[in-house]
Structure 1
Amino acid sequence: MSSPKLHYGRWSHIGNVYALTMVCQHRQPSFDDERCVQIVSRTLRAMDEEGFTASLAWVIMPDHVHWLAQLRTHALGYCVQRFKARSSYLMNRCRKCSGAVWQPGYYDHAIRSDESLREQAMYILANPVRAKLAERIGDYPHAWCRWEL
Structure 2
Amino acid sequence: MPHSARLRAGRFSEAQRIYLLTATTESRETLFSDFTVGRLVVAELKAAQQEGLVESLAWVLMPDHLHWLIALQQGSLSGLMRRIKGRSAKRVNALYGRQGKLWQDGFHDRALRREEDVLPAARYIVANPLRAGLVSRVGDYPLWDSVWL
Report the TM-score range of the alignment, normalised by the length of the smaller protein.
over 0.9
Q: Are 1:10 and 2:14 an aligned pair?
A: no
Q: Which residue of 2 aligns with 1:21?
A: 22
Amino acid at match of 1:121: A
CA distance in 2, matches of 1:50, 1:2: 31
Within a 5 Å distance, the mapping from 1:1-149 to structure 2 comes to 3-148=4-149
1:140 deviation in Å? Answer: 1.4
| Structure 2 unaligned residues grouped into runs of 5+ | none
Q: Which structure 1 segments of 5+ residues have no match?
A: none
How far residue 106 of structure 1 moved from its aligned partner, in angstroms, is: 0.5
The whole-number CA distance in structure 1 between the counterparts of 2:36 and 2:19 is: 27
Post-superposition shift, 1:6?
1.4
**Secondary structure, aligned partner of 1:9:** coil
Residue pair 1:125, 1:138 contacting (<8 A) in 2 also: no
Partner SS state of residue 14, structure 1: coil
Give the deviation of 1:138 after TM superposition. Answer: 2.7
**Displacement of 1:137:** 2.8
2:89 corresponds to which letter in structure 1? S
Cα contact 1:25–1:102 (8 A) shared by 2: yes
* Per-residue deviation, residues 28-82 of structure 1 (Å, max 9, x unmatched): 0011222111101111000100111110000011011110111111011110111
CA distance in 2, matches of 1:5, 1:20: 15
Secondary structure of the residue aligned to 2:140 is coil
- After superposing the two structures, state which structure 1 stretch, 102-111 or 139-148, moved more: 139-148
TM-score normalised to structure 2 length: 0.94
Residue 9 of structure 1 deviates from its aligned partner by 2.1
- Matches of 2:90 and 2:3, distance apart in 1: 19
Q: Aligned letter for 1:133?
A: L
Is the 8 Å Cα contact of residues 130 and 137 (structure 2) preserved in structure 1? yes
> What is the one-letter code of the residue matched to 1:16?
R
Percent of pairs with identical residues: 39
